[in-house]
């Protein structure tokens, strides 16, 4: 793998503060030292690097853009840069951090009781507790509002029943935030590992995100105290607002995967020679690919930065984030495929990072709102007409 020195065609670094660049550099060094030398092996073995959980916590990666309760209190742009650099290493690491911070810590902070916040947030920020987010069901993915999971009140307890699937970190989580329909609407419940009736198992045979744990959750007459319900949110606003947080991080993360593929293909093309000992980078058809890639990366960087600045000013909403996620993941996937082509046969070998990123990005294209669903969200924003059904 070739060394990475950043990708900045349009002097975008000048738009970042010194503090933002310092955060990026810290994560970049962490990824270069702790992830890049080993990721090929973890991916091949389908293994999530559990030993990095505490190291990432020490660097403040979990809930980094949240204030208080032991969180790093960074800006949304700094948080985005963390996600970018983590995903340059591997989408699996970024997925772990997204689930932990945006999908579990964020709703506890926003909608939880003080007791829930005290119990979980410091422990999760320190990596001493792991969380997962259970929304998707076997029959309800793009349309989670159709969920079958049910919560029935029984005295000072709730009884939960249902199946959740494709849940990041499911089997390694100490606490699952499970969304289920109660009598008064969809509610979020904190279900601790080991609660009777609650089981989880890993989904095997993934050709994507192999260095990430993905699981199914089963809840059969699981009793949790009513105090485990997030008291301050009801309806689909709860899970959807978490998704907006996670999608924001994904929009940045995808740039990292795209930059890794671009960098690798560029260095390769400058040294690989064919026909009269000329580097393949000297051919117009190859250069056309690089021109396309760097243009799309530059546009993606500007889009992410603008959404980040809007978010820091309190103006970013879910439709802005949809454009960020939709565009940046799509261009990253296109760049990964083009970069794979530039490496020829070597492009399919896991000695190079491109095929792994490409496979990962297939999941990223699908999760947190598929590309189609984000198209419909943007379509509704500009026309005022919802076209989901
Ligand atoms: C590795 C991985 C990790 C994941 N982690 C989590 C997690 O931690 N927690 C969690 O809750 N979920 C998680 N998911 C699930 C993910 O969010 C869902 O896969 C996603 O929402 C899509 O749902 P689905 O797979 O059921 O596809 P479907 O909803 O069945 O969609 C299939 C296809 O139909 C298209 N489609 C559906 N409806 C429409 C429409 N109205 N118009 C146009 N096209 C449409 C979709 O765009 C897609 O192309 C994860 C998934 C993966 C792959």
CA distances for 40 relative to 43, 83, 356, angstroms: 5, 20, 8
How far apart are the CA of 320 and the centre of ligand 1, in A?
20
Rg (CA), the chain: 21
Q: What is the pLDDT of residues 107-145, one digit of tens each?
A: 999 999 999 999 999 999 999 999 999 999 999 999 999
- Report if pTM > 0.85: yes
How far apart are the CA of 164 and the centre of ligand 1, in A?
12
User: Hey, whose CA ends up nearest to atom 30 of ligand 1?
Assistant: 141
User: Hey, whose CA ends up nearest to atom 12 of ligand 1?
Assistant: 136
Query: Does residue 197 have its Cβ closer than 6 Å to ligand 1?
Result: no
User: Hey, whose CA ends up nearest to atom 48 of ligand 1?
Assistant: 370
- Substitution site in 367, 373, 380, 386 for ligand 1 pocket (most atoms within 8 Å of beta carbon): 367
| Strand runs labelled E in 93-234 | 131-134, 150-154, 157-168, 175-182, 185-192, 198-202, 214-225
How far apart are the CA of 371 and the centre of ligand 1, in A?
9
Going by their DSSP bridges, the two strands 157-168 and 214-225 should be labelled as: antiparallel
- Substitution site in 142, 169, 333 for ligand 1 pocket (most atoms within 8 Å of beta carbon): 142
Closest approach atom of ligand 1 to CA 99: 8
- Substitution site in 98, 132, 135, 136 for ligand 1 pocket (most atoms within 8 Å of beta carbon): 136
Please answer whether residues 176 and 217 qualify as being in contact, where contact means their C-beta atoms are separated by less than 8 angstroms.
yes
Q: What is the pLDDT of residues 325-383, one digit of tens each?
A: 999 999 999 999 999 999 999 999 999 999 999 999 999 999 999 999 999 999 999 99
Checking if the pLDDT of 158 tops 80, the result is yes
Task: Give percent above pLDDT 70 in the chain.
Answer: 100
Checking if the pLDDT of 1 tops 80, the result is no
Query: Does residue 169 have its Cβ closer than 6 Å to ligand 1?
Result: no
Which residues are CB-contacts of 286 (< 8 A; sequence separation ≥ 6)?
269, 280, 342
Q: How far is Cα 372 from Cα 326, in angstroms, rounded to an integer?
A: 8
Phi, psi of 80 (to 5 degrees): -60, -40
User: Hey, whose CA ends up nearest to atom 14 of ligand 1?
Assistant: 166
Query: Does residue 142 have its Cβ closer than 6 Å to ligand 1?
Result: yes
Which has the closest alpha carbon to 209: 76, 350, 42?
A: 42
Which residues are CB-contacts of 380 (< 8 A; sequence separation ≥ 6)?
319, 386, 387
Checking if the pLDDT of 87 tops 90, the result is yes
Q: What is the mean pLDDT of residues 167-183?
A: 98
Angle between helices 318-342 and 371-383 (to 10 degrees): 140
CA angle 80, 82, 85 (to 5 degrees): 110
Q: How far is Cα 374 from Cα 249, in angstroms, rounded to an integer?
A: 15
Closest approach atom of ligand 1 to CA 208: 1
By annotation, the residues acting in catalysis are: 368
Which has the closest alpha carbon to 243: 107, 357, 58?
A: 107
How far apart are the CA of 168 and the centre of ligand 1, in A?
13
Which has the closest alpha carbon to 16: 331, 318, 258, 304?
A: 304
Q: How confident is the model at residue 201 (pLDDT cuts 50, 70, 90)?
A: very high
Query: Does residue 133 have its Cβ closer than 6 Å to ligand 1?
Result: yes
Tell me if residue 322 falls in helix, strand or coil: helix
Structure tokens at 382: 């500009």
Q: What is the pLDDT of residues 241-261, one digit of tens each?
A: 999 999 999 999 999 999 999
Query: Does residue 136 have its Cβ closer than 6 Å to ligand 1?
Result: yes
- Substitution site in 189, 330, 356, 370 for ligand 1 pocket (most atoms within 8 Å of beta carbon): 370
């Amino acid at each position: 793998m070739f060394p990475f020195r950043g990708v900045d065609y349009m002097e975008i670094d000048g738009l970042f503060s010194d503090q933002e660049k310092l955060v990026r550099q810290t994560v970049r060094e962490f990824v270069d030292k702790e992830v890049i030398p080993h990721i090929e092996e973890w991916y091949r073995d389908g293994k999530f690097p559990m030993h990095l959980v505490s190291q990432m916590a020490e660097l403040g990666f979990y809930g980094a853009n949240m204030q208080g309760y032991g969180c790093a209190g960074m800006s949304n742009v700094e948080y985005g840069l963390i996600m970018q650099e983590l995903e340059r290493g591997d989408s699996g690491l970024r997925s772990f951090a997204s689930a932990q911070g945006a999908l579990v810590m964020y709703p506890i902070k926003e909608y939880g009781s003080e007791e829930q916040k005290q119990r979980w947030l410091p422990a999760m920020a320190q990596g001493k507790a792991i969380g997962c987010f259970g929304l998707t069901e076997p029959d309800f993915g793009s349309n989670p509002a159709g969920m079958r999971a049910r919560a029935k009140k029984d005295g000072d307890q709730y009884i939960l029943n249902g199946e959740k699937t494709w849940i990041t970190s499911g089997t390694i989580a100490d606490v699952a935030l499970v969304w289920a329909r109660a009598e008064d609407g969809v509610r979020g419940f904190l279900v601790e590992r080991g609660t009777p009736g609650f089981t989880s198992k890993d989904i095997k045979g993934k050709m994507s995100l192999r260095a990430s744990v993905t699981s199914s959750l089963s809840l059969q007459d699981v009793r949790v105290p009513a105090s485990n319900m997030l008291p301050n949110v009801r309806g689909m606003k709860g899970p959807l607002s978490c998704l907006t947080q996670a999608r924001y991080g994904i929009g940045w993360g995808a740039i990292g995967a795209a930059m890794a593929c671009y960098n690798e293909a560029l260095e390769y093309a400058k040294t690989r020679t064919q026909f009269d000992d000329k580097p393949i980078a000297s051919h117009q058809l190859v250069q056309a690919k690089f021109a396309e890639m760097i243009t799309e990366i530059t546009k993606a960087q500007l889009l992410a930065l603008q959404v980040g600045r809007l978010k820091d000013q309190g103006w970013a909403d879910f439709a802005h984030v949809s454009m960020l996620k939709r565009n940046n993941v799509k261009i990253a996937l296109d760049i990964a495929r083009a970069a794979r082509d530039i490496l020829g046969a070597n492009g399919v070998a896991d000695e190079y990072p491109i095929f792994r990123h490409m496979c990962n990005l297939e999941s990223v294209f699908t999760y947190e709102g598929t590309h189609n669903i984000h198209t419909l969200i943007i379509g509704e924003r500009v026309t005022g007409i919802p076209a989901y059904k």
